[in-house]
Structure 1
Amino acid sequence: MDFGLVYPALVAGRLLLAFAPLPDALKHDHQLSSPLTSYPRLQEGVYLFQHGIDPYSGGLFRHSPLLLSLFSTALPLNKFTSACLWTACDAISAWALVKIWRARQRVSQSSRDSLIAAIYLLNPYLLLPTLALSTSTIENMLFLLSLMFASQGQSSPSLLALALLVQLSLPSAIFIVPMILLLLSDPVSRLASPREFNTYLSSILAKLGTFLGFSFALTSLSVLVCGNWTWVEQTWGAAVMLPDLTPNPGLWWYFFTEMFDHFRPFFLMVFSAHLLIYVLPVCLKFQHDILYATYILAGVYATFKPYPTLSDPGLFISLISLFPETYQYLRYPIVTTLLHLHSALLLPLFHHLWLSQGTGNANFFYASTLVFGVSNGAALLDAIWAGLRIAVGNLPEGYELIQK
């Protein structure tokens, strides 16, 4: 289908939904927004800031000062501007995903453009958080913009978008290494023909220096906005110390609810390190296709993030549209799909039974988040398996891969 017709139609449909009464019912849903991405908390922080009160003093507001300054000045928050802005973020994200696909195929346009845009804009895991006005939509946009610019070899825009993303969500720092490596390679598929990735350490350090420069400038701007450093503990610190145990679809909150206080620092360190330990192994194993390595790390991020929402696995699921060559090598796609459908039914059901009906307890909802974690893990393992098996499947007959 014609991308020039499908894409505007999908965006227009998203905008109509944004002005429907549904978003008001979704803003407080724990599955769609977390304490770090909640729209009502953002509104409260902006209100306090505009009235001369430090929004970080109460321990409730945990958004970046960059968002605070943006929505306090240039973009006042109301139903009209919020609906337009969040829809625009999704439209830009879908457009960026299409551009990444074109860069991977080295074409100016393709017959799959409409399908890729539709996979993103019609993904319910991405649609519902956008309707709930979760700032995770803005984070997804920054990630895809950084990935798009990296795929096109545009260093400064990519690293600036990544620096903005890390400012908004500290765990996104796991993408620094693959994004720099992608800037030094190209996004063309080489899964079927692995080869060693060669680059100079000086080139990596130069890109890292540029990223750190952008990060320093944005951090200085945040300090200038707030006039102090209290925002660091309430924003970046929240992603490490987990002070707010509001229920979410992730694996952290219930575990630390039941944790004895004297064990808490140790397990916080273990959980945080667990998110980081995948970066180098994945980048080394898929050094011949860094874009695929970034996709795998997006799955790790969605599964083990401290404060996830449905938009995190939704982004990972949409990214699979970039790698159609792996579809025939997926090991258990039907099981993974059924697990996601099962968890998609259990999450709202058990959430309602516990917090609305009062006929359940926290174990109900946590059981559904465990199923959701298993489904995300199954999708991640399927993707890794397919990425490794495609090379074996394309070897000449009679040959075997020899691990050096």
Structure 2
Amino acid sequence: MALIIKYIVACLVRYWLIHTDYWQTIANRVEIATPLNSWKRLIEGVHLYDNGINPYEGDSFHESPIMLILFHFLLKKVPYLLPVIFVVLDALTAHILYKASKVFIQIFKESQERGKADVVEESKNMLLNESQLNEVPYYVLSVYLFNPYSVLNCVGMTTTVVQNLLLAVSLWAASSGQRVMACVFIALATHQALYPILLVVPISILVANVNQGCNKCSYIRTLLGFVLCWGFCIFISAYIMDGSYDYFYNTYGFILSVPDLKPNIGLFWYFFTEMFEHFRLLFVCAFQINALALYVVPLTLRFHKEPVLLATVLIALSTIFRSYPCIGDVGFYLALLPLWKHLFSFMQQKFIVACTFIITSALGPTVWHLWIYSGSANANFFFGVTLSFATAQIFLITDMLFAHIKRDFTLKNGSSRQINGKPAKLVLR
């Protein structure tokens, strides 16, 4: 009953906000809508397509052709149901994350049982008991349903709602050992936003672990399945556009080359606004390598035994460093953090990160108003807020990773620090 009440309240809040006078303001906020996910641009693209004009010939529409056809159908057949559809999709995302987290908890239990022999006696009280593990899915559900970032993302009717659903289904499918479903949904998410391609690695590991097939063949099958599904998405998109692949430039090309420098909560827009044009290609490549490739190999080598943690971290890093991030992306990975509730006691920067999140979330709209409407500030003010927001997210992720390492070390070596029977002293040189 408590779960049903949560769903009802969360859906009513979203539905009510969509029908208030503030909806247009929310939907146009730079923190919520980007050139990739904006509802306004989506409607424009559908309108152009409906009138026989290729929406990819201009510079306003950047969604995939599959999304174009989907929303063309919805806007033609059931336009009055669109607010309900977005609310239901967001609630469904929360429910699938809830189901996925229950499977993740079972994986944690099995992993803890296997590693019990390596835990020293004095650290056995740190092992998670049944009640601590069973309450985690409820926290995941609550954080997604009532997180202001997720709520505003749904209210703004951005296509990030669909992307979050695709990511949630792919994580749940992988944790359940359903390779084909995981490949299909991660391919759809990649086709829409490109950056979810990073999740192929943890999903491959997770599927192999669940199916007890930790070998190269299992990983290759998952990778091959993803490539085939993604290729099929590309083929279907070309078929929709009458056999033309010109949409590539306004979808993947737009994401990678970052031509639209409208401010957002990311790091790209200000840097490329201030940079000399002849350096642009170099730094675009450097930024995109940082977002798409730099962290995958080292993090996989270190955390390959924890694919759920690896997936959480890669989702967070791709959110921070992608070219057009929004708060809907942030809200999704924040909902996964309760899975690591047992690490919070080892984290040292929780208070600083929480305060920074709250302050920057309040200051962002304030300095935007001062810059754009009052004229009493400039771009540096808004970029300072977005830079602080990104820094807080980086602190959160690094702190969580270090907390995992510290907890793992303490379980195996105990909390006492002695050398030759005497208390050890840590000295930095």
TM-score (norm 1): 0.92
Residue identity in the other structure for 1:340 = F
Cα shift at 1:198: 8.1
CA distance in 2, matches of 1:254, 1:45: 27
CA distance in 2, matches of 1:154, 1:120: 24
Residue identity in the other structure for 1:59 = D
Give the structure 2 partner of residue 201 of structure 1: 216
Candidates 277, 281, 290, aligned match of 1:261:
277
Q: Is the CA contact (8 Å cut-off) linking 2:196 and 2:315 kept in structure 1?
A: no
| 3-state secondary structure, aligned to 1:245 | coil
Cα shift at 1:397: 3.4
Cα shift at 1:170: 1.0
Q: Does residue 57 of the first structure (1) align with residue 62 of the second (2)?
A: no
Distance 1:304 1:77, change over 3 A: farther
Q: Does residue 162 of the first structure (1) align with residue 178 of the second (2)?
A: no
Q: Does residue 23 of the first structure (1) align with residue 23 of the second (2)?
A: yes
Identify which range, 70-79 or 53-62, moves more after superposition. Answer: 70-79
| 3-state secondary structure, aligned to 2:209 | coil
Paired residues for 1:5-404 under 5 Å: 5-76=5-76, 80-106=80-106, 110-186=134-210, 199-227=214-242, 228-275=244-291, 276-397=293-414
Q: Is the CA contact (8 Å cut-off) linking 1:33 and 1:132 kept in structure 2?
A: yes
List gaps (5 residues or longer) in structure 2: 110-132, 418-429
Q: Is the CA contact (8 Å cut-off) linking 1:26 and 1:131 kept in structure 2?
A: yes
Larger radius of gyration: 2
CA distance in 1, matches of 2:38, 2:6: 31
Quote the sequence identity (%): 27
CA distance in 1, matches of 2:137, 2:232: 36
- Deviation string 1:235-286 (CA, Å, 9 cap, x unpaired) is 1101110011111000001101111111101101101111111011112211
CA distance in 1, matches of 2:274, 2:45: 30
Q: Is the CA contact (8 Å cut-off) linking 1:175 and 1:294 kept in structure 2?
A: yes
Distance 1:252 1:168, change over 3 A: same
CA distance in 1, matches of 2:221, 2:317: 27
Cα shift at 1:21: 2.8
| 3-state secondary structure, aligned to 2:412 | coil
Residue identity in the other structure for 1:13 = V
TM-score (norm 2): 0.86
CA distance in 2, matches of 1:129, 1:322: 22
- Deviation string 1:197-238 (CA, Å, 9 cap, x unpaired) is 982212211111111111111111100111211110001101
Identify which range, 47-56 or 93-102, moves more after superposition. Answer: 93-102
CA distance in 1, matches of 2:415, 2:193: 48
Distance 1:184 1:198, change over 3 A: closer
Give the structure 2 partner of residue 194 of structure 1: none
CA distance in 1, matches of 2:181, 2:268: 33
Q: Is the CA contact (8 Å cut-off) linking 2:348 and 2:399 kept in structure 1?
A: yes
CA distance in 1, matches of 2:298, 2:409: 20
Distance 1:160 1:257, change over 3 A: same
Give the structure 2 partner of residue 192 of structure 1: none
Distance 1:398 1:93, change over 3 A: closer
Q: Is the CA contact (8 Å cut-off) linking 1:181 and 1:204 kept in structure 2?
A: yes
Aligned length: 391
Task: Output the aligned Cα RMSD.
Answer: 2.2
List gaps (5 residues or longer) in structure 1: 188-196
Cα shift at 1:338: 0.7
CA distance in 2, matches of 1:118, 1:77: 33
Q: Per residue, is there more helix in 1 or in 2?
A: 2
Q: Is the CA contact (8 Å cut-off) linking 1:43 and 1:77 kept in structure 2?
A: no
Distance 1:371 1:79, change over 3 A: farther
CA distance in 2, matches of 1:78, 1:346: 38
